[in-house]
Structure 1
Amino acid sequence: MNELAGAVAVVTGATRGCGRAIAVELGRQGATVFVTGRTTRDAGSPMKRAETIEDTAELVDAAGGRGIPVRCDFTSVSDVDALRARIESEVDGRLDILVDDVWGGDPFVDFESTYWDSDLDNALLVVRNAVDTHLIALHRLLPLVVRREGGLVIEVTDGDNDDYVGAGVPYYLAKCSVRAIGRALGAELAKVGCTGMTVTPGFLRSESMLELFGVTEENWRDAVSTSAPADFAISETPTLLGRGVAALATDPKVSRFAGQTLASWTLMHEYGLTDVDGSRPDFGRWMAEVRTPGLDPVTTDPTPFR
């Protein structure tokens, strides 16, 4: 459980969701993790959520790593420069793993309107929060990663391919762009002995999703028959992707995945992982065998897919 002892990671967007879970699982392997995001115990963010980077850092500590909370707005170059300065001063500029999980677009996404009837300012904010932030983080932090061979950079997106599923133009552009960044990083970082790639969760049972459907992690299945869509039966906790990223970070042959986008279910099968409850939710198989052929998800037994 200490395969990353001595290693240093930065996780952007680590306040909650997958970012938090990834930070914790890297900490579980002994890493020092710079936990970055906008929400602190003293200051909120437009997300208006209760989770904080200090909470995440404490979870990293409890898992066996070292969590260092650093407030950082990744739309601000000066904020990212200050983060880089902290890394330079506190760990001599060492950065072995960079997980780029910034999002922050939820308040601005319009899933209902046609693009031409939507609010243009909000559409542009979706792209700025999802794409500009990644470019700023990479521009300022990649110089630390490439100082040593073996560095790993992982982009986090939604979906493992570029098929359009009706989520709206700005959201689609944002998530495709992150996959494209991962493909480019796979080629560029290979030139300097490092690895770049992208990962995605399935139907995520995040803090905000549980709240949306009015359930908790303890009784989340109740939502399948009440407030949530039938696909929620194949949902997963953020920890499944967190475990997948930790497995990648400890894999000496991780470079074989350079430029690819790997889903949580793909990582689950590759590394023999389970979710926190011991289940193995395969959202990709559910989509291929239930949704794509047009079967009724309400009457389909989800058990074989977990």
Structure 2
Amino acid sequence: MQQQTDAPLAGRTALVAGATRGAGRAIAVALGAAGATVYVTGRTTRTSVSEVGRASETIEGTAERVTAAGGEGVAVPTDHLDPAQVRALVARIDREQGRLDVLVNDIWGGERLMDYPFTRPMWEQDLDKGLRMLRLGVETHLITSHCALPLLTRRPGGLLVEVTDGTAESNARYREQLFYDLTKYAPIRMAFGLGEELAKVGCAAVSVTPGFLRSEQMLEEAFGVTEENWRDAIAKEPVFAVSESPAYVGRAVAALAADPGVARWNGRSLSSGQLARVYGFTDTDGSRPDAWSYIRDKVYEGKDVDVADYR
């Protein structure tokens, strides 16, 4: 039976690991809007707050948004550094759904581990913070893939999405802080390497990055603005003019998950702006921001460009 075009992921099951806020929450909601059953995980619940410390953003809240969007949201508290918890999560998905079609590794939570000034050499930075960043942004992804891919690969067509910050092109440049550089380049290599392995069983892996993301944390803590008046922050950071809402990368991942020809992207590093041009979706304001192209042309290459051309 052919699926309805407005619910291309009906009957599919997704796991968004790290779906409490920001890109992860938006990806979960977009998958739900496409009709998927979405298991959303994280450490912040309505009764327990993670080290990130943002109590208002919970996995239960994300699950409710998924359901309101048209899917089925299932919140499962999970510490993805604990293999036993991740195995129990995957066993539950298998027991309740019998399948896993999309795995999104968006686990992060390392903003508070940034050691400033950002450009200090590695040997002058806090080692414990750096190692914790690697554990949160790399080890969690490895554990989750190791536990969940046996279920995902049961059926051809499964998709693994590694969410990171930056494309392979932009991350070929040093990100100014070694621990952050390693943490954000690793998912690109994971998607590349696992793409080689998954292709042999008819599945695919990609890495996906948003551009300059207007996450809740970025808006509130970095700039003191809201989604309604975010443009007020451009005076402080001109590149913010080409920023994007979390919904944009959510739509990017949903488009990939619904694409029967997604294998053509296998192993690739992709951005929300790039995928918007291919799949035809827009951000919530109707624009198509392409932050990484703007950063390349304006910041890295010093070209005289108009930011409006990148929206």
Q: TM-score range by the shorter chain?
A: over 0.9
Using the TM superposition, give the Cα deviation of residue 173 of structure 1 relative to its aligned residue in structure 2, in angstroms: 0.5
Using the TM superposition, give the Cα deviation of residue 89 of structure 1 relative to its aligned residue in structure 2, in angstroms: 2.2
Using the TM superposition, give the Cα deviation of residue 163 of structure 1 relative to its aligned residue in structure 2, in angstroms: 1.9
Using the TM superposition, give the Cα deviation of residue 301 of structure 1 relative to its aligned residue in structure 2, in angstroms: 4.2
1:286 aligns with: 294
For residues 134 and 282 of structure 1, the distance between their equivalents in structure 2, rounded to whole angstroms, comes to 26
For residues 214 and 96 of structure 1, the distance between their equivalents in structure 2, rounded to whole angstroms, comes to 38
The one-letter code sitting in structure 2 at the alignment partner of 1:70 is: V
Using the TM superposition, give the Cα deviation of residue 110 of structure 1 relative to its aligned residue in structure 2, in angstroms: 1.5
Q: For residues 222-271 of structure 1, what are the alpha-carbon distances to aligned partners after superposition, in whole Å with 9 as ceiling and x for unaligned?
A: 1112xx31100100011111101111011111000000010111101111
Q: How many residues align?
A: 300
Q: Superposition RMSD on alpha carbons, in Å?
A: 1.2
Match of 1:39 among 38, 44, 50: 44
2:82 aligns with: 76
Match of 2:244 among 236, 247, 256: 236
2:3 aligns with: none
1:97 aligns with: 102
Using the TM superposition, give the Cα deviation of residue 111 of structure 1 relative to its aligned residue in structure 2, in angstroms: 4.4
1:202 aligns with: 211
Larger deviation, residues 106-115 vs 24-33: 106-115
Spell out structure 1 runs of 4+ moving beyond 6 A. Answer: none
For residues 285 and 166 of structure 1, the distance between their equivalents in structure 2, rounded to whole angstroms, comes to 16
User: Is residue 94–residue 100 contact of structure 2 (8 Å, CA) maintained in 1?
Assistant: no
Q: For residues 190-234 of structure 1, what are the alpha-carbon distances to aligned partners after superposition, in whole Å with 9 as ceiling and x for unaligned?
A: 000111111001000000010020111000001112xx3110010
User: Is residue 106–residue 163 contact of structure 2 (8 Å, CA) maintained in 1?
Assistant: yes
User: Is residue 111–residue 167 contact of structure 1 (8 Å, CA) maintained in 2?
Assistant: no
The one-letter code sitting in structure 2 at the alignment partner of 1:149 is: P
User: Is residue 166–residue 292 contact of structure 2 (8 Å, CA) maintained in 1?
Assistant: no
1:160 aligns with: 167
Using the TM superposition, give the Cα deviation of residue 293 of structure 1 relative to its aligned residue in structure 2, in angstroms: 2.6
Match of 2:178 among 144, 169, 192: 169
2:92 aligns with: 86
Map 1:96-245; keep pairs closer than 5 Å: 96-112=101-117, 113-161=120-168, 162-211=171-220, 212-225=222-235, 228-245=236-253
Using the TM superposition, give the Cα deviation of residue 295 of structure 1 relative to its aligned residue in structure 2, in angstroms: 4.8
Q: For residues 81-110 of structure 1, what are the alpha-carbon distances to aligned partners after superposition, in whole Å with 9 as ceiling and x for unaligned?
A: 121121122213x10110111112222122
Using the TM superposition, give the Cα deviation of residue 131 of structure 1 relative to its aligned residue in structure 2, in angstroms: 0.8
Using the TM superposition, give the Cα deviation of residue 114 of structure 1 relative to its aligned residue in structure 2, in angstroms: 2.0
For residues 285 and 262 of structure 1, the distance between their equivalents in structure 2, rounded to whole angstroms, comes to 12
Match of 1:55 among 54, 58, 61: 61
Using the TM superposition, give the Cα deviation of residue 22 of structure 1 relative to its aligned residue in structure 2, in angstroms: 0.5
Pairing 1:19–2:24 present: yes
Q: Please list every run of 5 or more consecutive structure 2 residues that lacks an aligned counterpart in the other structure.
A: 1-5
The one-letter code sitting in structure 1 at the alignment partner of 2:282 is: T
For residues 151 and 175 of structure 2, the distance between their equivalents in structure 1, rounded to whole angstroms, comes to 38
Residue aligned with 2:212, SS: coil
User: Is residue 164–residue 172 contact of structure 1 (8 Å, CA) maintained in 2?
Assistant: no
